Amino acid sequence: MAFFPHLLLATLEGLVTSAVLALTALGLSLVFGVMRIVNVAHGEFFMLGAVLAWAITSAISGNPALGFALALVLSPLIVGAIAWIAERLVLRRIEYNPEATIVATIGLLYIIQQLALTFYGPEARPVTPPFNYRIQLPWFGYSGYKLSIIAASALLLLATWFVLTRTRIGLIMRATQYDRETALAFGIPVGRVYGAVFALGAMLAAIAAVLIVPIQQAHYLMGLDPLLLSFIVVIIGGLGSLRGTVIAALLIGVSDGIISVFFSPTLAKIIATLVVAMVLVFRPQGLFGTATK
Protein backbone atom coordinates (compact mmCIF):
# COMPACT_ATOMS: atom_id res chain seq x y z
CA MET A 1 0.00 0.00 0.00
CA ALA A 2 1.15 3.55 -0.71
CA PHE A 3 1.78 5.99 2.07
CA PHE A 4 -1.49 7.90 1.96
CA PRO A 5 -3.86 4.93 2.13
CA HIS A 6 -1.69 3.54 4.88
CA LEU A 7 -2.05 6.78 6.84
CA LEU A 8 -5.80 6.86 6.17
CA LEU A 9 -6.19 3.35 7.50
CA ALA A 10 -4.15 4.22 10.60
CA THR A 11 -6.29 7.33 11.12
CA LEU A 12 -9.53 5.38 10.81
CA GLU A 13 -8.32 2.79 13.29
CA GLY A 14 -7.24 5.64 15.56
CA LEU A 15 -10.69 7.21 15.31
CA VAL A 16 -12.32 3.95 16.42
CA THR A 17 -9.94 3.82 19.41
CA SER A 18 -10.70 7.48 20.15
CA ALA A 19 -14.45 6.89 20.04
CA VAL A 20 -14.30 4.11 22.62
CA LEU A 21 -11.71 5.91 24.68
CA ALA A 22 -13.73 9.12 24.83
CA LEU A 23 -16.68 7.26 26.36
CA THR A 24 -14.56 5.36 28.87
CA ALA A 25 -12.58 8.43 29.88
CA LEU A 26 -15.74 10.50 30.17
CA GLY A 27 -16.98 8.04 32.79
CA LEU A 28 -13.75 8.41 34.78
CA SER A 29 -13.78 12.17 34.37
CA LEU A 30 -17.40 12.46 35.49
CA VAL A 31 -16.73 10.49 38.66
CA PHE A 32 -13.65 12.54 39.42
CA GLY A 33 -15.34 15.81 38.56
CA VAL A 34 -18.42 15.36 40.72
CA MET A 35 -17.14 13.12 43.52
CA ARG A 36 -13.47 14.18 43.61
CA ILE A 37 -12.31 10.57 43.73
CA VAL A 38 -10.15 8.45 41.45
CA ASN A 39 -11.75 5.14 40.55
CA VAL A 40 -8.96 2.63 39.91
CA ALA A 41 -11.55 -0.08 39.19
CA HIS A 42 -12.88 1.85 36.20
CA GLY A 43 -11.08 -0.44 33.74
CA GLU A 44 -12.72 -3.46 35.39
CA PHE A 45 -16.18 -2.02 34.73
CA PHE A 46 -15.08 -1.82 31.11
CA MET A 47 -13.95 -5.45 31.21
CA LEU A 48 -17.16 -6.51 32.92
CA GLY A 49 -19.17 -4.81 30.17
CA ALA A 50 -17.31 -6.79 27.52
CA VAL A 51 -17.57 -10.11 29.36
CA LEU A 52 -21.30 -9.63 30.00
CA ALA A 53 -21.76 -8.76 26.32
CA TRP A 54 -20.21 -12.10 25.43
CA ALA A 55 -22.43 -13.90 27.95
CA ILE A 56 -25.60 -12.23 26.68
CA THR A 57 -24.90 -12.64 22.96
CA SER A 58 -23.95 -16.28 23.38
CA ALA A 59 -27.14 -16.97 25.34
CA ILE A 60 -29.34 -15.55 22.58
CA SER A 61 -29.57 -17.61 19.41
CA GLY A 62 -30.75 -16.29 16.06
CA ASN A 63 -29.88 -12.99 14.49
CA PRO A 64 -26.59 -11.66 16.04
CA ALA A 65 -28.00 -8.14 15.89
CA LEU A 66 -30.72 -9.10 18.37
CA GLY A 67 -28.28 -10.45 20.95
CA PHE A 68 -26.02 -7.47 20.45
CA ALA A 69 -28.84 -4.98 20.92
CA LEU A 70 -29.82 -6.75 24.10
CA ALA A 71 -26.21 -6.69 25.31
CA LEU A 72 -25.98 -2.98 24.56
CA VAL A 73 -28.90 -2.37 26.93
CA LEU A 74 -28.47 -5.05 29.60
CA SER A 75 -24.71 -5.10 30.08
CA PRO A 76 -24.39 -1.41 31.06
CA LEU A 77 -27.41 -1.76 33.35
CA ILE A 78 -25.89 -4.71 35.20
CA VAL A 79 -22.49 -3.00 35.44
CA GLY A 80 -24.18 0.19 36.65
CA ALA A 81 -26.00 -1.79 39.34
CA ILE A 82 -22.77 -3.42 40.51
CA ALA A 83 -21.04 -0.04 40.64
CA TRP A 84 -23.96 1.44 42.54
CA ILE A 85 -23.80 -1.36 45.12
CA ALA A 86 -20.03 -0.92 45.52
CA GLU A 87 -20.54 2.79 46.02
CA ARG A 88 -23.18 2.26 48.69
CA LEU A 89 -21.34 -0.52 50.51
CA VAL A 90 -17.79 0.79 50.43
CA LEU A 91 -17.12 4.28 49.13
CA ARG A 92 -19.90 5.94 51.11
CA ARG A 93 -18.63 4.36 54.31
CA ILE A 94 -15.10 5.68 53.87
CA GLU A 95 -16.62 9.11 53.18
CA TYR A 96 -14.91 9.41 49.81
CA ASN A 97 -11.53 10.02 51.44
CA PRO A 98 -9.34 10.34 48.30
CA GLU A 99 -6.54 8.02 49.41
CA ALA A 100 -8.74 5.41 51.07
CA THR A 101 -10.89 5.41 47.93
CA ILE A 102 -7.90 4.54 45.79
CA VAL A 103 -7.00 1.63 48.07
CA ALA A 104 -10.62 0.45 48.19
CA THR A 105 -11.05 0.62 44.42
CA ILE A 106 -7.80 -1.31 43.98
CA GLY A 107 -9.44 -3.96 46.16
CA LEU A 108 -12.52 -3.81 43.96
CA LEU A 109 -10.31 -4.21 40.89
CA TYR A 110 -8.85 -7.44 42.24
CA ILE A 111 -12.23 -8.83 43.26
CA ILE A 112 -13.87 -8.13 39.88
CA GLN A 113 -10.87 -9.56 38.04
CA GLN A 114 -10.94 -12.72 40.12
CA LEU A 115 -14.68 -13.19 39.66
CA ALA A 116 -14.29 -12.78 35.91
CA LEU A 117 -11.46 -15.29 35.89
CA THR A 118 -13.42 -17.81 37.96
CA PHE A 119 -16.75 -17.58 36.13
CA TYR A 120 -15.64 -16.55 32.65
CA GLY A 121 -12.22 -18.13 32.46
CA PRO A 122 -8.81 -17.13 31.15
CA GLU A 123 -9.73 -17.39 27.44
CA ALA A 124 -10.26 -14.47 25.09
CA ARG A 125 -13.64 -14.85 23.41
CA PRO A 126 -15.07 -13.05 20.38
CA VAL A 127 -18.52 -11.57 19.96
CA THR A 128 -20.18 -11.65 16.54
CA PRO A 129 -20.73 -8.15 15.15
CA PRO A 130 -24.40 -7.21 14.72
CA PHE A 131 -23.84 -6.71 10.99
CA ASN A 132 -21.12 -7.32 8.46
CA TYR A 133 -21.03 -4.63 5.86
CA ARG A 134 -17.87 -3.50 4.18
CA ILE A 135 -17.56 -0.03 2.78
CA GLN A 136 -15.41 -0.12 -0.33
CA LEU A 137 -12.94 2.77 -0.48
CA PRO A 138 -10.75 3.30 -3.60
CA TRP A 139 -7.78 1.68 -1.82
CA PHE A 140 -9.24 -0.84 0.60
CA GLY A 141 -12.48 -2.06 2.06
CA TYR A 142 -13.34 -0.91 5.58
CA SER A 143 -15.65 -2.42 8.17
CA GLY A 144 -18.95 -0.62 8.32
CA TYR A 145 -19.32 -1.77 11.91
CA LYS A 146 -16.20 0.11 12.94
CA LEU A 147 -17.55 3.29 11.38
CA SER A 148 -20.81 2.77 13.24
CA ILE A 149 -18.85 2.66 16.50
CA ILE A 150 -17.60 6.17 15.78
CA ALA A 151 -21.14 7.33 15.03
CA ALA A 152 -22.61 5.66 18.13
CA SER A 153 -19.95 7.16 20.35
CA ALA A 154 -20.48 10.64 18.90
CA LEU A 155 -24.21 10.27 19.52
CA LEU A 156 -23.71 9.16 23.12
CA LEU A 157 -21.25 11.98 23.80
CA LEU A 158 -23.75 14.49 22.46
CA ALA A 159 -26.47 12.97 24.62
CA THR A 160 -24.23 13.18 27.72
CA TRP A 161 -23.39 16.76 26.88
CA PHE A 162 -27.07 17.55 26.54
CA VAL A 163 -27.92 15.92 29.86
CA LEU A 164 -25.09 17.70 31.66
CA THR A 165 -25.77 21.18 30.35
CA ARG A 166 -29.46 21.32 29.50
CA THR A 167 -31.37 19.26 32.03
CA ARG A 168 -32.26 19.43 35.69
CA ILE A 169 -30.24 16.28 36.41
CA GLY A 170 -27.19 17.95 34.89
CA LEU A 171 -27.79 21.06 36.95
CA ILE A 172 -27.97 19.00 40.15
CA MET A 173 -24.74 17.24 39.24
CA ARG A 174 -22.96 20.48 38.49
CA ALA A 175 -24.19 22.02 41.72
CA THR A 176 -22.87 19.04 43.66
CA GLN A 177 -19.58 19.27 41.82
CA TYR A 178 -19.26 22.98 42.48
CA ASP A 179 -19.87 22.92 46.21
CA ARG A 180 -20.97 19.87 48.15
CA GLU A 181 -21.96 21.73 51.31
CA THR A 182 -24.09 24.30 49.53
CA ALA A 183 -25.74 21.55 47.48
CA LEU A 184 -26.65 19.79 50.73
CA ALA A 185 -28.00 23.02 52.16
CA PHE A 186 -30.23 23.44 49.10
CA GLY A 187 -31.76 20.04 49.71
CA ILE A 188 -29.93 18.17 46.94
CA PRO A 189 -29.63 14.51 48.01
CA VAL A 190 -25.85 14.47 47.57
CA GLY A 191 -25.56 10.84 48.63
CA ARG A 192 -27.98 9.69 45.92
CA VAL A 193 -26.28 11.92 43.35
CA TYR A 194 -22.93 10.31 44.18
CA GLY A 195 -24.36 6.81 43.83
CA ALA A 196 -25.94 7.72 40.49
CA VAL A 197 -22.80 9.41 39.15
CA PHE A 198 -20.61 6.45 40.11
CA ALA A 199 -23.05 4.08 38.38
CA LEU A 200 -23.25 6.34 35.33
CA GLY A 201 -19.45 6.47 35.05
CA ALA A 202 -19.29 2.67 35.12
CA MET A 203 -22.10 2.41 32.57
CA LEU A 204 -20.26 4.65 30.12
CA ALA A 205 -17.25 2.33 30.38
CA ALA A 206 -19.50 -0.71 29.89
CA ILE A 207 -21.17 0.77 26.80
CA ALA A 208 -17.75 1.52 25.32
CA ALA A 209 -16.73 -2.09 25.99
CA VAL A 210 -19.87 -3.55 24.36
CA LEU A 211 -19.20 -1.42 21.30
CA ILE A 212 -15.58 -2.55 20.98
CA VAL A 213 -15.96 -6.22 21.87
CA PRO A 214 -16.98 -7.42 18.36
CA ILE A 215 -13.57 -6.28 17.07
CA GLN A 216 -11.46 -6.87 20.21
CA GLN A 217 -12.27 -10.09 22.08
CA ALA A 218 -13.36 -10.14 25.72
CA HIS A 219 -10.68 -11.10 28.25
CA TYR A 220 -10.49 -10.83 32.03
CA LEU A 221 -7.30 -8.71 31.94
CA MET A 222 -8.51 -6.31 29.24
CA GLY A 223 -9.28 -3.55 31.79
CA LEU A 224 -5.78 -2.27 32.46
CA ASP A 225 -5.15 -0.59 29.11
CA PRO A 226 -8.42 1.38 29.03
CA LEU A 227 -7.78 2.43 32.63
CA LEU A 228 -4.32 3.82 31.88
CA LEU A 229 -5.45 5.39 28.61
CA SER A 230 -8.42 6.99 30.38
CA PHE A 231 -6.11 8.43 33.00
CA ILE A 232 -3.98 9.80 30.20
CA VAL A 233 -6.98 11.33 28.43
CA VAL A 234 -8.46 12.80 31.57
CA ILE A 235 -5.14 14.29 32.61
CA ILE A 236 -4.37 15.79 29.22
CA GLY A 237 -7.92 16.98 28.69
CA GLY A 238 -8.16 18.61 32.09
CA LEU A 239 -10.19 17.00 34.85
CA GLY A 240 -13.93 17.35 34.62
CA SER A 241 -13.93 19.04 31.22
CA LEU A 242 -16.15 17.27 28.64
CA ARG A 243 -14.71 19.17 25.70
CA GLY A 244 -11.13 18.55 26.88
CA THR A 245 -11.86 14.86 27.32
CA VAL A 246 -13.13 14.49 23.76
CA ILE A 247 -10.25 16.46 22.24
CA ALA A 248 -7.69 14.51 24.28
CA ALA A 249 -9.31 11.18 23.35
CA LEU A 250 -9.05 12.13 19.67
CA LEU A 251 -5.44 13.19 20.12
CA ILE A 252 -4.42 10.06 22.02
CA GLY A 253 -6.49 7.63 19.93
CA VAL A 254 -5.34 8.90 16.55
CA SER A 255 -1.71 9.37 17.52
CA ASP A 256 -1.73 5.92 19.13
CA GLY A 257 -3.12 4.49 15.89
CA ILE A 258 -0.51 6.25 13.79
CA ILE A 259 2.45 5.64 16.14
CA SER A 260 1.66 1.92 16.41
CA VAL A 261 1.79 1.65 12.62
CA PHE A 262 5.29 3.08 12.51
CA PHE A 263 6.80 2.03 15.88
CA SER A 264 6.54 -1.02 18.11
CA PRO A 265 3.40 -0.86 20.29
CA THR A 266 5.47 -1.21 23.47
CA LEU A 267 7.66 1.76 22.56
CA ALA A 268 4.54 3.74 21.67
CA LYS A 269 3.08 3.00 25.09
CA ILE A 270 6.33 3.91 26.84
CA ILE A 271 6.50 7.25 25.06
CA ALA A 272 2.81 8.05 25.60
CA THR A 273 2.90 7.18 29.32
CA LEU A 274 6.10 9.13 29.87
CA VAL A 275 4.80 12.19 28.06
CA VAL A 276 1.61 12.16 30.10
CA ALA A 277 3.44 11.69 33.40
CA MET A 278 5.51 14.74 32.46
CA VAL A 279 2.37 16.71 31.63
CA LEU A 280 1.01 15.84 35.07
CA VAL A 281 4.28 16.89 36.70
CA PHE A 282 4.77 20.17 34.89
CA ARG A 283 1.23 21.17 33.88
CA PRO A 284 -1.16 19.55 36.35
CA GLN A 285 -4.21 21.41 35.04
CA GLY A 286 -3.89 19.58 31.69
CA LEU A 287 -3.15 20.95 28.27
CA PHE A 288 -6.65 22.28 27.60
CA GLY A 289 -8.12 22.58 31.06
CA THR A 290 -8.29 25.57 33.28
CA ALA A 291 -7.13 25.10 36.85
CA THR A 292 -9.63 23.01 38.77
CA LYS A 293 -11.61 24.77 41.42
Partner 1 sequence: MSGDGTTAKVYALHAAVIALLVALNFILPEYHHGVLARVLVLAVFAMGYNLLFGYVGLLSLGHAMFFAAGLYGAGLPLYHLGWGVPAAFAGGLGAGFVVALVIGLLALRTSGVAFMIVTMMFAQVFYLTTLYFGEWTRGDEGLVLQQQTRQVALGSGTLDLTNPATRYLLAVALFAAALFATLAIVRSRHGRVLVAIRENEERTKMLGYDTFANKLAAVVTSGVICAAAGAAYALLFGYVGSTFASVQYSILPLLWVLLGGAATTLGPLLGTLFMYYVIDITSGYTSAYMLVVGLVLILLVLYFRKGVLGTMRERWVRWLP
Write out the residues near partner 1 by the rule CB under 8 A: 38, 90, 93-94, 98-100, 102-104, 106-115, 117-118, 224, 228, 231, 235, 264, 266-267, 269-270, 273-274, 276-278, 280-282, 284
DSSP 209-246: HHHHTTTS-B-TTTTHHHHHHHHHHHHHH-TT-HHHHH
H/E segment holding residue 173? helix 168-178
95 vs 181 by CB, closer to partner 1: 95
Question: What CA–CA distance (Å, rounded) separates 159 from 148?
Answer: 16
CA nearest to 219, candidates 30, 6, 54: 54
Shortest Cβ 206–partner 1 spacing (Å): 20
Min separation Cβ 266 and partner 1, Å: 5
Q: CB of 254 within 8 A of CB of 18?
A: yes
CB of 155 or CB of 278, closer to partner 1: 278
Which amino acid appears at position 223 of this protein?
A: G
Closest CB to partner 1 among residues 70, 287: 287
- One DSSP character per residue, 253-273 reads HHHHHHHHHHS-HHHHHHHHH
Name the helix (H) or strand (E) containing 61: none
Nearer to partner 1, 99 or 179 (CB): 99
The nearer residue to partner 1, 90 or 258, going by C-beta atoms, is 90
Q: Which of 292, 246, 289, 181 is nearest to 20 (CA)?
A: 246
What lies within 8 Å, CB to CB, of 142 at 6+ separation is: 9, 12, 134, 135
For the CB of residue 247, give the shortest distance to partner 1 in the complex, in Å. Answer: 20
Nearest distance from C-beta of residue 98 to partner 1, angstroms: 5
Contact present, 39 and 198 (Cβ < 8 Å): yes
| Closest approach of partner 1 to the CB of residue 96, in Å | 12
Min separation Cβ 225 and partner 1, Å: 11
CB nearer to partner 1: give 19 or 35.
35
